Structure 1
Amino acid sequence: MTNNTIIENTKAFVYQSLKDAEGGHDWFHIQRVYNNSKLISKTEQVDGFVVALGALLHDIADSKFHDGDETVGPRIAREFLFKQNVDSIIIEHVINIIENISYNKSLEKGAKFKSPELDVIQDADRLDAIGAIGIARCFNYGGFKNRKLFDPSIKPNMNMTKEEYKKSEAPTINHFYEKLLLLKDKMNTKTGKRIAEQRHKYMEIFLDQFYAEWDGKR
């Protein structure tokens, strides 16, 4: 099979797998990350085939929806790519991307896998977590988990371990401080950093309006 055929097969597989998933982690999230990855790749020296497969499969089984099990996604991706007769070196690269892309991975200590392709997809994924869509996704997931919008008595935890982060049930607004507002300074690529600046400012404006409305000032 050609690379283009494998990419189209991967799109179809991911669509069928995630079309009914939670709204912030469904097929449309994958599609946005895939498109962002292609945009960022234009200014980076990367393997476009690896980027395409990594972007499409990065959330094939998010651990949040599998009782925290981080092995499900890599296993499903590996099985699918093997059936597509993808070269073993590329499969391992894609699996490493899936295993290292998430924000909670950055909370672990020790050496981590890095590659230019991971940098691109990670930026694309993080861009979808900020700005207008990031805000929508944040509150959608908070509603999905039946979390409070905001509770002034519960302060953000800025020093969480990976396990604390994964088990957190804090109000949705806290997530802005514990993750979303930190992403701008964690971008890997020039394009990612440029786009993140504008989306970051939009979140700051939103929070200013949110607190003004909460306190009945505006």
Structure 2
Amino acid sequence: MSGHLSKKGQASDLVERIAQLIKTRFEDESSGHDWHHIRRVWQLARQIAQREGANQEIVELGALVHDIADWKFHAGDDTVGPREAERLLVSEGAASSVIEQVVGIVASISYKGAGVKTAMTTLEGQCVQDADRLDAIGAIGIARCFAYGGHANRLMYDPDQPPVMHATAEAYKAAKGSSLNHFYEKLFLLKDRMNTETGKALAEQRHRYMEEFVAQFLEEWGAACV
């Protein structure tokens, strides 16, 4: 398994142990929130952290546990993730200062609606959040969007169902819109919500690719409905 910290010692051992536990837990997940998603976020977060000068250990651990208990799979309860992350880190002997910072990332990482601010207060959290959002856009983001839509029994597209710019986290969590609406309600908004200069630069091409995809999708949909 690749993904070792650049420095040696206890931190690297802790990261590798957590990575193995998360891999075992999520490798058969099929909604787009699987081990491969987590691993991509891990690697992207490392790259961003290196360029931005963030603490590598905190960033890597935050990336590895960021989806440990996503509210989408826990009846909208966004307190489960931080609790599970803390439990895992405590069980693996992480220092209390590390646990506090990583749990803070997990508690703040999720997108909660077009009208809801989800600001990260630390550079480490910003690196992880940017990496997670990068994996939600572009070609892989498109695939994950439709994978989750199928998992959640959502329509691929309904032209009579307009997108909704959710003003509250509660409204966003309760939404049952189509997968294509999700592009307007979240994915197209992420480029301008990147925190770091590295994240902003990496988001540009992925954003353009999504715009081209949706334009082609709607053109084909319209042609089939003539």
For residues 82-139 of structure 1, what are the alpha-carbon distances to aligned partners after superposition, in whole Å with 9 as ceiling and x for unaligned? 1222111110110000000001188547x96510001100000000000000000000
Match of 1:94 among 88, 102, 113: 102
In structure 2, the CA distance between the partners of 1:106 and 1:170, relative to structure 1 (3 Å rule), is closer
Q: Residue 57 of structure 2: which of 42, 49, 62 is its match?
A: 49
Shift of 1:29: 0.6
Aligned to 2:5: none
Matches within 5 A, 1:19-168: 19-104=27-112, 107-108=115-116, 114-168=121-175
**C-alpha root-mean-square deviation of aligned residues, in Å?**
1.9
Aligned residue for 2:52, secondary structure, equals: coil
5+ unaligned residues in a row in structure 2: which ranges?
1-8
After TM superposition, the structure 1 stretch with the greater mean CA deviation from structure 2, 115-124 or 63-72, is: 63-72
CA-to-aligned-CA distance 1:23-61 (integer Å, 9 cap, x gap): 310111100000100111121121100001000000011
Q: Which runs of 4+ in 1 moved over 6 A?
A: none
Match of 1:3 in 2: 11
2:73 is aligned with what amino acid?
F
Amino acid of the structure 2 residue aligned with 1:128: D
Residue 22 (structure 1) shift: 2.8
Distance 1:176 1:108, change over 3 A: closer
State the TM-score, normalizing by the size of structure 1: 0.94
Question: Are residues 1:180 and 2:187 paired?
Answer: yes
Output the CA distance in 2 between the equivalents of 1:106 and 1:179.
7
| Matched letter for residue 125 of structure 1 | D
Residue 18 of structure 1 pairs with residue 4 of structure 2:
no
The equivalent of 2:4 in structure 1 is: none
Farther-moved stretch of structure 1 (158-167 vs 170-179): 158-167
TM-score under structure 2 length normalisation: 0.91
Size of the alignment, in residue pairs?
217
Aligned mates of 1:79, 1:103 — CA distance in 2: 23
- Percent of pairs identical after alignment? 49
- Structure 1, unmatched stretches of 5+, are none
2:14, 2:111 → 1: CA distance? 28
Give the 3 Å change call, closer, same or farther, for CA 155–168 of structure 1 in structure 2.
same
Question: Is residue 195 from structure 1 mapped to residue 202 from structure 2 by the alignment?
Answer: yes
Q: Quickly say closer, same or farther: Cα 1:12–1:107, change in 2 above 3 A.
A: farther
